[in-house]
Amino acid sequence: MSGVAGTVDDMSDSPTPFTIPVDSDALADLRARLRATRWPDAPEDAGWSLGADLGTLRELVAYWIDGFDWEAQVQALSTVPHFRANLGGTGGVEALGVHYVHVAAAPGGASPAMPLLLAHGWPDSFWRFGKVIPLLTDPGAHGGDPADAFDVIVPDMPGYGYSDRPTGPALDTIGVAKLWAELMTALGYDRFGAAGGDIGSGVVRYLALDFPSRVVGVHRIDANLAAGAADAFELTPEEKGFAEQAAEWNAAEGAYGHLHRTKPQTGAFGLNDSPVGLLAWIVEKMQSWSDGELEAVYTKDEILTNVTIYWLTETIGSSMRMYQANAAIPVEQQLRRVEVPSGFSLFPGDLLHPPKAWLERSTNLVSLHEMPRGGHFAAFEEPELYARELRDFFRPLRTAAV
């Protein structure tokens, strides 16, 4: 894999410390491609109404060429320890090298600290949780209670970030959950908490479903109405309304997902070849899925760090193929109820808001909070709020994890 130091074939020990690479040739090629961009036209005053905004893209690309310092961003990303581990190879899961961040709780808190696995989604990677890690591992240094500290583990899903791309079919969320259970075993954690959003929400759901004796609690920021729910249950009016809203959202905003599920390889040719195409594909989602205008939520460096990870690792195609794998998950799997204690924090700028009736039907709901601000990338947009929600939710479950 481009940009990854080590693969499953050449890692002799597991886990292995990992250094994010800086490839000067790849960066020079990126800048050359950016300078050679053939820009599309756009209707006057179209803004974001037709997709990515031309003016915003031009501004970001100009900064990507002459102002963005990838080496400095790598230094910032490397303030936490990075590793790779050889996972899979059994149970129908391909053997893969997986990248993850693993940060131990600061001294002075509860001992041993509670392990917490954080699961990202699309279009991101371990990047999603960069701001929240210090708030969770060292709450005492950020106005919190040292007793709430976690050991935090943030893996990149296969086909994302610095994890290997599957050479065969993409893994679905069930397969990724198996890998994360294996990773936690390799790290010496028998019982742990899990939290995530977007695709990561599905991953931690299957961790709780398939490894209930190991997961003490699961925290999520979203939950879809399962396929087949209308046939399997007598839905409340609230749940039926949610299904209608989801259908309306999919019709208006879901074209990207339809492509990912049906023809991801076709899209990958353009997105893997054009950095501006890749930027447009990702930044339009960061704009429309966040709580506020793009420039008010993210700095240029933050946006471009997320996109540059995708560009240098060449993972846009493999990340999109996961949608096709998830679309093939049988209905009976989607209808299973999570019996592990479950908590939800729903942020106003997120895509959809599942009703309490569905959360109670589909999970052992013990906590539900409507948040005052934040969106789909809540851990990055509102790290203090997100960290507080995790600390509050897992506090009564800590004794079960040790």
For residue 100, indicate whether it is catalytic.
no
- Tell me the CA distances in angstroms from 330 to 108, 333, 334, 340, one per residue in order: 46, 6, 7, 21
The amino acid present at 354, given as its one-letter code, is: P
CB neighbour list of residue 45: distance below 8 Å, 6 or more residues apart: none
Number of C-alpha atoms within 13 angstroms, CB side, residue 40?
13
Per-residue pLDDT, 363: 98
What is the full DSSP assignment across 330-372? -HHHHTPPEEEEEEEEE-TBSS----HHHHHHHEEEEEEEE-S
Alpha-carbon distance 362 to 359, whole Å? 5
- Name the catalytic one among 148, 172, 198, 350: 198
Strand order through the sheet with 16-17: 16-17, 82-87, 96-103, 150-155, 114-119, 192-196, 215-220, 338-346, 363-370
CB 382 within 8 A of CB 348: no
What is the full DSSP assignment across 19-41? -----HHHHHHHHHHHHT--PPP
CATH, domain range 16-401: 3.40.50.1820
Alpha-carbon distance 60 to 55, whole Å? 9
- Name the catalytic one among 102, 124, 376, 386: 376
Per-residue pLDDT, 71: 98
**Residues listed for the chain:** 402
**Parts of the chain with a pLDDT under 70:** 1-13
Alpha-carbon distance 265 to 319, whole Å? 11
What is the full DSSP assignment across 83-108? EEEEE--STTPPPEEEEEEEEPPPTT
CA 206 to chain centre: 15
Alpha-carbon distance 1 to 163, whole Å? 9
For residue 162, indicate whether it is catalytic.
no
CB atoms within 10 A of CB 13: 8
CB 240 within 8 A of CB 218: no
For residue 90, give both structure tokens: 């059994």
For residue 206, give both structure tokens: 């299957």
CA torsion 380→135→313→311, rounded to 10°?
30
- Tell me the CA distances in angstroms from 209 to 13, 126, 173, 201, 339, one per residue in order: 30, 23, 12, 12, 7
For residue 323, indicate whether it is catalytic.
yes
CA dihedral over 377, 379, 380, 384, signed as positive or negative: positive
Per-residue pLDDT, 7: 46
For residue 351, give both structure tokens: 């895509």
